[in-house]
């Protein structure tokens, strides 16, 4: 049977993690890992964002706008709409994930509730301009570190310099309890307000917890090269055969955002797995260092690292993001590599404004607007940093990229 590399290097769940009993203090364990005084565990990163935005809106009901990168997960737009707030899309810097400070300054104002700099794919972005501009406007900064659990700046966790940061514990995001989220709030009073919000809007649901527990067992059984062929590879190739790129990229989200408490068993699984996460991240960094050197040997390929504006940044490496010179060659790379079992994909298919299915929650944008973000979306490729993408497979991937780059 052919093997399948996953699109991201998620920490596998081991059989020993699944035994009942043991500590279920996932919040405390995450707090020690992150080096923070308190962590609030929620049922998803999206749920953590909903709790954060709902709390902020209660504190400042006259503020109704949330500024996010134009290229980010559609779940962010759904969370903003769920809270009854309005989305504002911010341009990116050229060939980067940093928010454009000039564009951000024009967007910030008396109606701004929060700005969300996003550490996409484990890459550390420069959140300092967002903090300065948001705080000058009287707004808060909520860092989206859903894909960056373990990323640090000068030894401190990303996000701890802002008002709020949230992380995802979903599949493929490093530590996983199939679906989960972690919310970290700097100010004690604001933290208490977020806890009150969660008590008010998050309820225990036996149905949802049973479902997530079964899904976690399935993840533990199938998140391995042979199992991924069936759980990930076959659905991916079916979606590509149907030209359904939204589903292939995993951007087809249900309209409802579940809000429920995480049960003790899943938290205990997370506690056991978290003990292995530091070594897993170190291995990923070492593997990425070797792979980055190979990719950077291709002169016309742009390999994304942490923001050059953040000295001391040390991101995580679930995937490696590269930019091809133009959209045509990115399309050629997708045609040859997406679905080939080598862990090649895209972070998201479009900028938020270009998904027809999310038009109800994303403001319309002129085709000529957001040129940097749209160029990024059209040229970006994600390459798995999983150890299950073996050296031979990675070299085959690189050889294909070199052939495509030579077409220009």
pLDDT of residue 407: 76
CA–CA distance, 383 with 312 (Å, rounded to integer)? 24
Token readout for 252 is: 């087809």
List pLDDT tens digits, range 65-99. 999 999 999 999 999 999 999 999 999 999 999 99
pLDDT of residue 1: 40
Residue 51 is part of a domain; what is its CATH number?
A: 3.40.640.10
Token readout for 174 is: 């490093």
CA 93 from chain center: how many Å?
A: 19
Q: Print the domain residue range for 139.
A: 1-408
Query: What order of strands is seen across the sheet that includes strand 156-157?
Result: 156-157, 152-153, 313-314
Angle at 151 between CA 159 and CA 37, to 5 degrees: 50
- Give the dihedral of Cα atoms 77, 79, 80, 82; nearest 10 deg: 120
pLDDT of residue 203: 94
Angle at 170 between CA 201 and CA 99, to 5 degrees: 85
CA–CA distance, 406 with 359 (Å, rounded to integer)? 38
DSSP string, 254-295: -S----BPPPHHHHHHHHHHHTTHHHHHHHHHHHHHHHHHHH
Q: Is 155 helix (H, G, I), strand (E, B) or coil?
A: coil
Q: Is 368 helix (H, G, I), strand (E, B) or coil?
A: coil
Q: How many domains are contained in the chain?
A: 1
Percent above pLDDT 90 for the chain: 97
CA–CA distance, 355 with 328 (Å, rounded to integer)? 20
CA–CA distance, 315 with 29 (Å, rounded to integer)? 20
pLDDT of residue 2: 61
Q: Which residue has the tokens 């008010």?
A: 200
pLDDT of residue 408: 61
pLDDT of residue 3: 80
List pLDDT tens digits, range 230-285. 999 999 999 999 999 999 999 999 999 999 999 999 999 999 999 999 999 999 99
Q: Tell me the whole-structure pTM to 2 decimals.
A: 0.97
Q: Is the CA virtual torsion 22, 27, 31, 33 positive or negative?
A: positive
Residues of the chain short of pLDDT 70, as ranges, are 1-2, 408
């Amino acid at each position: 049977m052919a093997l399948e590399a996953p699109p991201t290097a998620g920490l596998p769940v081991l059989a020993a993690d699944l035994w009942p009993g043991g500590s279920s203090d996932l919040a405390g364990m995450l707090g020690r890992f992150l080096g923070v005084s308190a962590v609030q565990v929620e049922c998803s990163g999206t749920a953590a964002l909903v709790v954060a935005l709902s709390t902020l809106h209660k504190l400042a009901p006259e503020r109704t706008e949330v500024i996010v990168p134009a290229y980010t997960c559609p779940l962010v737009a759904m969370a903003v709409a769920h809270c009854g707030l309005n989305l504002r899309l911010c341009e990116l810097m050229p060939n980067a994930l940093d928010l454009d400070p000039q564009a951000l300054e024009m967007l910030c104002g008396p109606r701004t509730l929060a700005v969300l700099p996003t550490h996409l794919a484990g890459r550390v972005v420069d959140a300092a301009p967002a903090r300065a501009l948001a705080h000058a406007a009287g707004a808060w900064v909520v860092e989206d570190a859903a894909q960056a659990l373990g990323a640090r700046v000068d030894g401190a966790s990303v996000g701890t310099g802002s008002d709020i940061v949230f992380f995802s514990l979903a599949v493929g995001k490093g530590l996983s309890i199939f679906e989960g989220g972690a919310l970290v709030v700097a100010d004690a009073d604001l933290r208490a307000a977020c806890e009150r919000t969660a008590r008010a809007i998050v309820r225990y649901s036996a149905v949802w917890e049973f479902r997530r527990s079964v899904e976690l067992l399935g993840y533990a059984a199938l998140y391995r090269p042979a199992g991924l062929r069936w759980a990930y590879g076959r659905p991916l190739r079916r979606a590509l055969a149907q030209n359904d790129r939204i589903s292939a990229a995993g951007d087809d989200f249900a309209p409802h955002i579940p809000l429920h408490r995480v049960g003790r068993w899943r938290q205990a699984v997370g506690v056991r797995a978290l003990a292995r996460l530091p070594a897993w991240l170190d291995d990923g960094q070492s593997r990425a260092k070797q792979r980055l050197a190979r990719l950077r040997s291709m002169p016309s390929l742009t390999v994304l690292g942490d923001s050059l504006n953040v000295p001391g940044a040390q991101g995580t490496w679930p995937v490696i993001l590269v930019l091809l010179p133009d959209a045509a060659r990115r399309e050629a790379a997708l045609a040859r590599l997406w679905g080939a079992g080598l862990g090649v994909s895209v972070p998201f298919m479009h900028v938020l404004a270009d998904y027809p299915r999310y038009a109800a929650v994303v403001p319309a944008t002129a085709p000529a607007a957001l040129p940097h973000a749209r160029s990024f979306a059209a040229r970006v490729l994600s390459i798995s940093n999983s150890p299950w993408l073996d050296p031979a497979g990675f070299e085959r991937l690189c050889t294909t990229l070199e052939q495509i780059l030579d077409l220009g």
